[in-house]
Structure 1
Amino acid sequence: MSDYGESPSYDGDRRTGWAELGSGETVELARIGARFGARILDIIFVFVIYMVVLMIMLGGWALSDEDSGVFSGGLAMATLIGPIVWLVYEGVQVAVSGRTLGKRMTGIKIINAAHGGVPGWGKSVGRWVIPGLISLIPLAGLLLAILCYVSATWDRVYQGWHDKAAGTLVINA
């Protein structure tokens, strides 16, 4: 039995919509459509939070005031704040409850594939790091990050590369 989820009625690469955890428990996997919907909602939530944090941190700075050097400083800060906001938003929620706001709204949950509990801090951050850091690569990064999520569509237990690396599954809550 795999710690990364194995179908209880294993039939080659056939997808059944179910996985057996390392503990022997059987769980129903979240469908790709629900995962996609949750990701879109999370992107919206993170964008709103990012904009609020950015406005607070930049305060009265005018991003277009190139003479004072504020533009380059503000742009650098904006670039650094994005990944931090995303990591805090997703990392904390997944580590503590296995669910982000978007996942709550779509009725899905991330679990540790070995025992079915919440992923915890290491798996939560590890799961985020794969697409999060890949997306920072100039030009090809965004495409590779999207491919990381899309890779779940051809996996037998709907695990994207980030799920495989962290040892997590996404299930119906």
Structure 2
Amino acid sequence: MSSVSAGWYKDPADTSTQRYWDGEGWVGKAIPADAVPPDGPPAAEPESPASPPAAHPAHPAHPVTPAAPLAGPPPGWTPQPPPGMQPPPGWQPPPPGMQPPPGWQPPPPQGQQPPPQGWQQPPPGWQQPPPGWQAPQPGWQQPPPGWQPHPGAQPMQGYPYPFAMPEVRPHGMALAGLGRRLTARLIDIVAVLLLNVVVNGYFAWLYMQDFLPIFRAYWAQAQAGNPPPVMQATDRMSTLSVAIVMIGTLLWLLYEAPSIANSGQTLGKRIVGIKVVGVEKTEPIGFARAFTRWARLGIWTLFWWVCGLGLVIQFVAALSPVFDPRLRQAWHDKAAATVVVAVPAGTAPTVEAATSGDSSGGLT
């Protein structure tokens, strides 16, 4: 017995018509597919009068094979419910002998979404990747068997390879740490301040001669409980403040750029044992690159008076090597294509400078 319930369905022999299926076979005449069928089975057809049997030869030339009785819908036919009607609960696929068409899949359970287009069954043994796993970038290759990272190598955050990379050593020298770089910068600041005391001291003394009377009057009014007057700078104070900042910026440039251009070391860098070198060679980088390196940091001194904007940018730039864990280049190092390396006393580079076609250390 077929599991298909009785009802009107499209005739598999002629899809432009529909017929009634009583659970065992087709009954009644076919009607157009777009016609509204009756609620039940079609009315019984009147029996036609028996016709006299036709005369047949006693021995036909070609024996006729009787057709097999139709026991159910033809192979390949899949019952479909009327438009807008969901499959009933407990619906099962067609029984054996009724092959579904190519690509047919049983409907998913009620409340479950069907798989997306193109979905394929995962291979045997497949497991869900751990949380946070990311697919490797194109071109990644599995390291060879027995591969071990370089001793002391640190894993790179966000690097496309899942294993630790060896530390970069430009020209055979270790990169300078952030602590030594900040110490050298503080020593250089003190040295530039001493130069300003010598060169800018006279201009600062003239500035204070105009500033102190204004400040005393302001303080006296505040002590007396009166509204203090607005402090307004004199014309000479405005001129002297611009001159002091300009001279201070120039002193910093003359202190740092020539020493970096010739030896790669200022007084602070020489004391802590670090040096500025180009990424492509160990020879002096020259004044043009040294000026470019200084300008990305020192030129912001001219903007100190804008709510301290220049001072904030210089502070962040001094900490910018933290944002480059591979080469530890500050923003001014990237502008001049330089790196800061550690040069202990009495040592020299152990590797020749990289040529233009060499990619040692990933620096070219």
TM-score class, shorter-chain normalisation, is 0.7 to 0.9
Pair 53,17 (structure 1): closer, same or farther in 2 beyond 3 Å: farther
Unaligned runs of 5+ in 2: 1-149, 212-232, 344-364
Written as runs of structure 1 = structure 2, the 5 A alignment for 1:90-169 is 90-137=256-303, 138-139=306-307, 140-155=309-324, 156-169=326-339
| Seq. identity, % | 30
Unaligned runs of 5+ in 1: 1-7
How big is the shift at 1:35?
A: 0.3
Written as runs of structure 1 = structure 2, the 5 A alignment for 1:1-173 is 13=159, 17-20=167-170, 25-55=171-201, 58=203, 61=206, 63-65=208-210, 69-137=235-303, 138-139=306-307, 140-155=309-324, 156-173=326-343
Corresponding letter in the other structure for 2:193: F
Pair 166,35 (structure 1): closer, same or farther in 2 beyond 3 Å: same
More helix by share: 1
Q: Retained in 2: the 8 A contact 1:15–1:157?
A: no
Larger gyration radius, structure 1 or structure 2: 2
How big is the shift at 1:61?
A: 3.5
Corresponding letter in the other structure for 1:101: L
Q: C-alpha root-mean-square deviation of aligned residues, in Å?
A: 2.7
Rounded to whole Å, the distance in 2 between the matches of 1:62 and 1:18 is 50
Name segments (4+ residues, structure 1) moved above 4 Å.
8-17, 66-69
Pair 70,147 (structure 1): closer, same or farther in 2 beyond 3 Å: same
Pair 64,113 (structure 1): closer, same or farther in 2 beyond 3 Å: same
Aligned length: 161
Q: Structure 2-normalised TM-score?
A: 0.40
Q: Retained in 1: the 8 A contact 2:246–2:302?
A: no
Q: Retained in 2: the 8 A contact 1:149–1:162?
A: no
Corresponding letter in the other structure for 1:64: Q
The answer to which structure, 1 or 2, has the higher relative contact order (CA under 8 A, 6+ apart) is 1
Q: Structure 1-normalised TM-score?
A: 0.80
Rounded to whole Å, the distance in 2 between the matches of 1:128 and 1:158 is 17
Q: Retained in 1: the 8 A contact 2:207–2:241?
A: no
Rounded to whole Å, the distance in 2 between the matches of 1:90 and 1:51 is 17
Q: Deviations over 1:50-103 (max 9, x none)?
A: 1111025x3974543379843232222101111101111011111111100000
